[in-house]
Copies of this chain bind each other. A is one copy, B any other.
Amino acid sequence: MGIPSKMWLKGMAEQKATNVHWHEGDITTEDRNKLLRQKGATIWFTGLSGSGKSTIAVALEGVLYDMGHLCYRLDGDNVRLGINKNLGFSAEDRTENIRRVGEVSKLFVDTGVIALSSFISPYRADRDQVRALHDAAGMDFIEVFVDVPLDVAENRDPKGLYKKARAGEIKGFTGIDDPYEAPLHPELVLNSHEMSLEDEVTAILSLLRARNVLPAENN
């Protein structure tokens, strides 16, 4: 499309002027929350590779959608290939990876969206930094620790990564030769090897209602 001519614009403005209603003042986070009938929040899933983070996030996403709520999953798949494609897996890069994801999550919360951020995020200090960023902005940060024993995750090994790590083909793999630092005060712990997916999703929904991220049930 080229440059619109002044004549055309003038004609259009005369014809459609009634469609432009100026809004008083800037649009705020509260305005967007109202539009979406929810409160933006970050649900941060942390846990070992194979612990069940993505499975829970995907199930929750479907349930929230069917309830008419807007959420978005952030995970290694859409972040490592995009905004963080210039980062590796050194301790320094892992920290920057989580910092950026935390900032993106905050932008989603500001938009009114429920961010489902699903990352191993093995270092406590990195997660606590994301929490502090949310706290400072008065935003909800809900840390969900998907907690299964290492041997359970390793037996699942959905991507064959533990096998490669044990064979020394992957270095610095969380749980094998890189530490996983469990959360000290998560909002929720889900032992995915002992709970049904339905129980896990129900527990999260209950928490979201309690924190007014979702409106109270009206049925």
Chain A residues engaging chain B, CB cutoff 8 angstroms: 1, 3-4, 6, 9-10, 12-13, 16-17, 19-27, 31-32, 35-36, 58-59, 61-63, 65-66, 68, 70, 72, 74, 78, 82-83, 86, 96, 100, 103-104, 106-108, 110-113, 187-189, 194-196, 198-199, 201-203, 205-207, 217
Interface of A is mostly: helix
Chain B residue contacts of A58, Cβ below 8 A = 26
A10 cross-chain contacts in B, Cβ below 8 A: 199
Whether B20 and A63, one on each chain, are in contact in the complex, defined by CB atoms closer than 8 angstroms, is yes
Complex contact A9–B199 (CB within 8 A): yes
> Considering the chains assembled together, what is the distance between the CA atoms of A198 and B32 in angstroms?
23
Cβ of B104 and Cβ of A13 under 8 Å apart? Answer: no
Can you report 15 residue pairs joining A to B where beta carbons are below 8 Å apart?
A1-B187, A4-B188, A16-B202, A17-B202, A20-B198, A22-B62, A22-B63, A23-B63, A26-B58, A31-B65, A70-B70, A72-B110, A82-B106, A83-B83, A83-B104
